Amino acid sequence: MSNKIFRTIVLLLFICVSPSFAEHVRDDDERYEEIDNYDFLYGDAAAQYDYDVIAVDNILDEAFSHIGKRYRRGLSGPNAFDCSGFTSYVYAKNDITLKRSSREQYTQGEPVSKENLQSGDLVFFTSPESGRSIGHVGIVVDVDPITGSFNFIHASIKGVKVSNSSERYYSRRYVGARRVM
């Protein structure tokens, strides 16, 4: 019986004291802004990004809406794509006209160094059929500022999917990037 009484007293003390451990809310107008990303860790505060965030979000939303769609050579959507058909379809949905082949798309926009890649940029690779010239294209999803690798969405022979530039197949075939926005 005394053990029950002891537990009850400890519980009552905990309940009475616990409000003092709660977060103190100040009555003055002091506010704290929540940080929702960690970009400040990777660059200086004055870093300028050369893109329209809303336009990039729209392009990536459109691209991701086709995840898993089949690969078919020569098709440009909406039910099946080849790589350049996919990029031209996605950008066209956002009022940006791209030429139809990956080689032609590589001539559009401005060249971008790998160190300056941003979401929405087009990235180009050779392919087994293209020899040393452009044979594949994808859209940058995000860039790891520490390793320099990037994820990109593209129509591969396994369908529309996201791959990483550090995968052996793509790391050996990377050619360059273009910014068309």
User: What residues are annotated to the active site?
Assistant: 83, 136, 154
Q: Are 153 and 138 in contact (CB under 8 A)?
A: yes
Kindly compute the dihedral angle of the four CA atoms of residues 93, 85, 109, 106, in this order, to the nearest 10 degrees. Answer: 170
Q: Is the peptide bond prior to 145 cis by the omega test (within 30 degrees of 0)?
A: no
Q: Which two tokens stand for residue 76?
A: 């440009």
Q: Are 156 and 83 in contact (CB under 8 A)?
A: yes
DSSP-assigned letters across all residues of 58-82: HHHHHHHTTTTPEE-TT-BSSSEE-
| Element spanning 143, H or E | strand 134-143
The answer for 67, left when phi > 0, alpha when psi is -120 to 50, beta otherwise, is beta
Q: Are 174 and 115 in contact (CB under 8 A)?
A: no
The length of the chain, given as a count of residues: 181
Residue listed under structure tokens 């400890």: 10
